[in-house]
Amino acid sequence: MNTVTKTVHLNADRNRVFDFLSNIENLPKWATNFCQGVKQEGDDYKIVRPDGELFFKIVSDRTTGVVDMYGGPDKEQMAGWPARVMGLADGTSLFAFTCVQFPGVTDEAFADDCVSVDGELEILRNILA
């Protein structure tokens, strides 16, 4: 399994970045290639993607800055993408997101996913400017 961690420097304080990223309703605002919309079904969320819907959740912890994201075809089969918000001494933040190549994903598709994340992190930078 391959992994690639992407980072982006954000001109916003840690709490603002954490609050934005830990709110699943904000996902389609910045992860535009991955998520076109969010639907709530009871206590569960699904994201709308070009290839269908996925169950999705964000497990976050303000103290550590963890904003881990999980998605899958059902609640028992959710893959995870580790993510973290770190405050910097100058009042700005760093967001780190790890792309994971799951079984069945080709090297080419994984490389495309990583490029897609680069674009989404730029969108995030613009939103939180």
pLDDT band at 79 (very low <50, low <70, confident <90, very high): very high
Domain count, the chain: 1
Q: How far is CA 2 from the centre of its chain?
A: 17
pTM (two decimals): 0.94
Give me the mean pLDDT over the 11-17 stretch.
Answer: 98
In DSSP notation, 25-92 reads GGHHHH-TTT-SEEEEETTEEEEEETTEEEEEEEEEETTTTEEEEEEESSTTS-EEE-EEEEE-TTS-
Query: Which domain, by its residues, includes 81?
Result: 3-127
* Contacts of 48 by beta carbon, 8 Å cutoff, 6+ apart: 28, 35, 36, 37, 38, 39
Cα→Cα distances 82→50, 115, 129, Å: 23, 17, 23
- The average confidence (pLDDT) of the chain is 96
Residue 59 pLDDT > 90: yes
pLDDT at 51 over 90: no
pLDDT of residue 15: 98
CATH number, domain with residue 114: 3.30.530.20
d(CA 49, CA 52): 5
User: Percentage of the chain surpassing pLDDT 70?
Assistant: 100
Provide the 8-state DSSP code for 99. Answer: E
Predicted pLDDT of residue 1 = 80
pLDDT attached to residue 106: 94
- Alpha-carbon distance of 93 to 10, in angstroms, equals 5
pLDDT band at 50 (very low <50, low <70, confident <90, very high): confident
Q: What is the pLDDT of residue 73?
A: 93
Q: Which residues of 18-32 are buried (b: 16+ CB within 10 A; e: fewer)?
A: bebbbebebbeebbe
CB 38 within 8 A of CB 48: yes
- Is residue 92's pLDDT more than 90? yes
pLDDT recorded at residue 101? 95
Residue 40: pLDDT above 90?
yes
